[in-house]
Amino acid sequence: MMSWLPENVSTYGGQIDYLFYLIYYITAAALILVTVLMVAFLIMYRQREGRKAVYSHGNTALEVTWTVVPAVILIMLSFMSISTWGEIKIYAPPAEYEVRVVGKQFNWDVFHPGPDGKLDTEDDIKIENEVHVPVDKVVHVQLQASDVIHSFFVPSFRVKQDAVPGRDILVWFEVTKPGQYELPCAELCGFGHSGMLGWVFVHTPEDFEKFLKENQDQG
Amino acid sequence: MSEAAASAHADHGAHEPAGFWSHYVFSTDHKMIGRQFLFLGLFMLIIGGILAMLIRWQLAWPETEVPGLGWVPEPTMYEGIIPPSTYNMLFTMHATIMIFFVVMPIMVGGFGNFLIPIMIGAKDMAFPLLNMLSFWVGAVAGVLMIASFFVVGGAASGGWTSYTPLTGAAVYTGVNWGINLWVLSLFVLAFSSLMGSINYITTLINMRAPGMTYFRLPLSIWSLFITAILLLLALPVLTAALGMLFFDRVFATNFFLPAGGMPLLWQHLFWFFGHPEVYILVLPAMGVTSDVLSVFSRKPIFGYRAMAYSMIALAFLSWIVWGHHMFVSGMNPLLGTAFMLTTMVIAVPSAIKTFNWLGTLWGGSIRFTVPLLFAIGFVSNFVIGGLSGIFMASTPVDIFIHDTYFIVAHFHYVVAGIIFAMFAAIYFWFPKMFGRMTSHTWGVVHFIGTYVFFNLTFFPMHFLGVGGHMRRIYNPMQYEYLEQFGDMNVFITISAFCLGLSQIPFVVNFIWSLFAGEKAPENPWEANTLEWSAPSPPPHGNFATQPQVYRGPYEYSVPGVEEDWLPQDRPLGAAAATGH
Ligand code: HEM
Ligand SMILES: [Cu+2]
Ligand SMILES: [Cu+2]
């Protein structure tokens, strides 16, 4: 099943994949256990001449076991998830590059800081559906929406965050591999939701210089 | 119904004229109302199923002509091709119908009504007239919902979750009266459920037969009791939120819009209702499954009290997990951690139930009847749906799989899996409801087809989700990274069509048995609960004499008793039992 996961190219994506694998193995084991027992019981205890069912109302020791064991595993999974969640959604590292992405029916408006490195200045570069970021740098996205809720989803970065009108939500990522990654909208936003699609261009330092230069005169 | 019903009714019915209208239409008999809910739900199941097939057609062969639908006028379809706006209506209405007009009417309205009085040894519900009103108010809601397909602009298209601002003003979807009617229909339906739940609770508290203590109630009744309490508490939240949404749409009050209100408020209100709603749907299925497994294993249910307490635990916990639907919504991420913990905890009672079902099978003398097969099918699906839920409960993993097909797979294993418990209940109580047996062979055929194609349809959806395939998208081929899934989508669609076709044996079996099935004896399954002491079908008033309850519902294979069952109302020491 895991071979379907898109290639991960972000710094924290590996941790998400790790948790995914962990839960996958635990749940697969549980599924196999339950299925095997069920099939075995169905075969072993099918109705046969001369055999009466066992008269039993339960077994406290067993019941305590199968309450405590799942509980321990689940609580353990929660605690293992907490730090990754905190790293991704709560404690963002300081920005090395910052862009603003505004979702609207049915496009992403992307504002890049111009050569001055600051947003909301004269030289901002606005491009529809294209996010240009440098590789190996902590990127902060100021995520906004101008009409309805959209969702910023980059499968290869393992990042998803809803863009909510009236809010300015911080999303961050650091990409380790230059390339071009799809940025679909993941929250139903109207009849054009399907196909609301942007691209994230992750540039090497040289390429990134080039991108800034090419767009210098855009204002 | 059958002559048996009619004649028994005549014997008993001095107090009620046996006219067609009062018997079949405006009936106050809980059993007739239960049947009415059942038929309403089955009818809506056909509509909801057809909508699902249309969704699947589009996903497998995007933007091609649906065979036979060339006549549908624009802008609903363009020469048989489904446009994106219509696609959004399809999945919105599919889900709304399946949840509110199939599972709720059948499991809660249908079996709740039919079973509660008769399984606790009562003559009828506490408020028969209110009961009738509950059905007819529900029917009005159904008419409003169906009518919404035919208004200008089409039906609701904002998803069954109806997130604002998308649904907060008509401009965003282009659907005006469709969503207004959707809101009104659910608003009206909430009153139907409220009337039903008050009736169930009152009946259960006050009208249990002598000797029927709470811990002698069958688990299906326990589950319906808890469901009724959840309904009573959860639906007003939805009703209030729907009222505000309606005001936003019609009077621009902006409760849920950024100009003056908060988009996320809707999500909080909706899911505060929505998660208990999930348990409203699944608890009766669990109850029915417990009863059926015990009867056909010829064994007491394993851990009766643990089963009851775990349902109570689910009901309590269901109020504090709603935020797991909102991990990436922009809700405070610290809350995400809290909701992850509660969500992990709520998985424990579900695990308890699963293991207790296994324990019930262990050491049994299992009779492979059709209801047993479907109950096993429910357990098997519930295990998969429960385990896949753990992925979503882990907040970091949910970042990736939220709003993908992984979720679609997950909730179909749980909520669409309820259909298995529904079939188990229908096959199990059909003899009591209609006085006739259904065909075993065709029931088995129905089960095999449904089980196999259900899994072939929904299991591969996990793979799509892992690949990042979003839900609610009209055309996956618009995304480069999803092109590889074209074949899998075709496979799923073909399986879904086969799943649909597998329901034909059921329809034929159901209708044929209704009129020509073998006459059912009083207790065809040799079961213990009180309904099996009444005639099949039971007359108005259910029992000739007030039953007296001596024991719990699951005394199967009791040592020292000759038969392997011991009805709740049979005094030991009487001729039938050997006694000690
Ligand atoms: C006949 C078998 C069924 C099939 C083939 C089927 C298929 C589907 C499909 C393809 C979707 C759309 C997924 C998407 O693109 O987002 C969907 C959505 C949904 N279905 Fe089903 N379904 C079936 C039965 C059911 C049942 C019985 C229930 C509930 C009791 C149910 C509840 C839902 C819900 C809640 C949604 C979500 C809709 C939304 O996103 O607003 N389905 N189903
Ligand atoms: Cu969208
Ligand atoms: Cu929930």
Contacts with B329 from chain A: Cβ below 8 Å: 149, 162, 164
**DSSP designation for B253:** -
Check: CB of residue B245 under 8 Å from CB of residue B213: no
Question: For the segment B506-515, what is each residue's pLDDT rounded down to a tens digit?
Answer: 999 999 999 9
Q: Looking at the predicted structure, is the pLDDT value of residue A91 above 80?
A: yes
Within a 10 A sphere around the Cβ of A75, how many other Cβ atoms?
A: 14
Q: Looking at the predicted structure, is the pLDDT value of residue B9 above 80?
A: no
Give the pLDDT of residue B2: 44
Residue count of chain B: 580
Q: What angle do CA B407, B410, B412 make, to 5 degrees?
A: 110
B187 domain residue, yes or no: yes
Full domain range(s) for residue B120: 22-533
* pLDDT band for position B289 (cuts 50, 70, 90): very high
Check: CB of residue B501 under 8 Å from CB of residue B449: yes
Question: For the segment B547-580, what is each residue's pLDDT rounded down to a tens digit?
Answer: 999 999 999 999 999 899 999 999 986 544 443 3
Q: For an interface test with B, which of A12, A65, A142, A162 has the most B Cβ atoms less than 10 Å from its Cβ?
A: A162
Q: Looking at the predicted structure, is the pLDDT value of residue B16 above 60?
A: no
Which of B464, B468, B341 shows the shortest CA–CA distance to B402? B468
Q: How far is A115 from chain B (nearest CA, A)?
A: 31
Give the pLDDT of residue A50: 84
Lowest mean pLDDT among A117-121, A147-151, A192-196, B235-239: A117-121
d(CA B153, CA B8): 51
| 3-state DSSP assignment of residue B392 | helix
Give the pLDDT of residue A215: 82
Find residue B404's DSSP bridge partners: B470
B449 domain residue, yes or no: yes
CA of B23 to the centre of ligand 3 (A): 40
B578 domain residue, yes or no: no
Give the pLDDT of residue A217: 64
Question: For the segment B401-417, what is each residue's pLDDT rounded down to a tens digit?
Answer: 999 999 999 999 999 99
B156 domain residue, yes or no: yes
Q: What angle do CA B379, A38, B287 make, to 5 degrees?
A: 30
What sections of B148-176 are H helices per DSSP? Answer: 170-173
Residues 6+ apart with CB under 8 A from B216: B549, B551, B552, B553, B568
Within a 10 A sphere around the Cβ of B128, how many other Cβ atoms?
A: 17
CA B229 from centre of chain: 16
Q: Looking at the predicted structure, is the pLDDT value of residue B419 above 60?
A: yes
Q: Looking at the predicted structure, is the pLDDT value of residue B22 above 90?
A: no
Q: Looking at the predicted structure, is the pLDDT value of residue A2 above 90?
A: no
Could you tell me the CATH number of the domain that includes residue B194?
1.20.210.10
* Residue B45 CB less than 6 A away from ligand 1: no
Please provide the average confidence, as pLDDT, over all residues in chain B: 94
Contacts with A31 from chain B: Cβ below 8 Å: 383-384, 387
Q: For an interface test with B, which of A158, A160, A189 has the most B Cβ atoms less than 10 Å from its Cβ?
A: A160
Alpha carbon of B245 to those of A17, B54, B261, B466, B467: distances in Å? 39, 29, 11, 34, 35
* Residue B416 CB less than 6 A away from ligand 1: yes
What mean pLDDT is predicted for residues B273-288? 97
* pLDDT band for position A216 (cuts 50, 70, 90): confident
B229 domain residue, yes or no: yes
Sign of CA dihedral B292, B295, B297, B303: positive
B569 domain residue, yes or no: no
Which of B432, B515, B379, B547 shows the shortest CA–CA distance to B110? B432
Query: Nearest ligand, CA of residue B282?
Result: 1
Alpha carbon of A153 to those of A101, A173, A183: distances in Å? 12, 12, 6
pTM score: 0.94
What token pair was written down for B48?
């909801």
Question: For the segment B481-510, what is each residue's pLDDT rounded down to a tens digit?
Answer: 999 999 999 999 999 999 999 999 999 999
Burial class (CB in 10 A: 0-12, 13-18, 19+), B43: middle
* pLDDT band for position B17 (cuts 50, 70, 90): low
Residues 6+ apart with CB under 8 A from B251: none
Please provide the average confidence, as pLDDT, over all residues in chain A: 94
| 3-state DSSP assignment of residue B566 | coil
Which of B400, B523, B561, B372 shows the shortest CA–CA distance to B468? B400
Q: Mind spelling out the 3-state secondary structure of B444-505?
A: HHHHHHHHHHHHHHHHHHHHHHHCCCECCCCCHHHCHHHHHHHHHHHHHHHHHHHHHHCCHH
Q: What angle do CA B65, B162, A162 make, to 5 degrees?
A: 95
Q: Looking at the predicted structure, is the pLDDT value of residue B12 above 80?
A: no
**DSSP designation for A167:** -
* pLDDT band for position A12 (cuts 50, 70, 90): very high
Name the strand (E) or helix (H) holding A133. strand A130-134
| 3-state DSSP assignment of residue A159 | strand
* pLDDT band for position A1 (cuts 50, 70, 90): low
Check: CB of residue B282 under 8 Å from CB of residue B414: yes
d(CA A13, CA A77): 17
Give the pLDDT of residue A117: 84
Q: What is the ipTM of this complex?
A: 0.95
Alpha carbon of B551 to those of B295, B528, B545: distances in Å? 15, 10, 18
Q: How far is A9 from chain B (nearest CA, A)?
A: 13
* Residue B242 CB less than 6 A away from ligand 1: no
What mean pLDDT is predicted for residues B235-261? 95
Question: For the segment B373-404, what is each residue's pLDDT rounded down to a tens digit?
Answer: 999 999 999 999 999 999 999 999 999 999 99
Name the strand (E) or helix (H) holding A130. strand A130-134
B430 domain residue, yes or no: yes
Q: How far is A216 from chain B (nearest CA, A)?
A: 30
Number of domains in chain B: 1
The beta-carbon neighbor of B463 closest among A1, A23, A188 is: A1
B5 domain residue, yes or no: no
What token pair was written down for B580?
């000690």
What mean pLDDT is predicted for residues B90-100? 98
Check: CB of residue B460 under 8 Å from CB of residue B491: yes
Give the pLDDT of residue B301: 97
What mean pLDDT is predicted for residues B528-535? 96
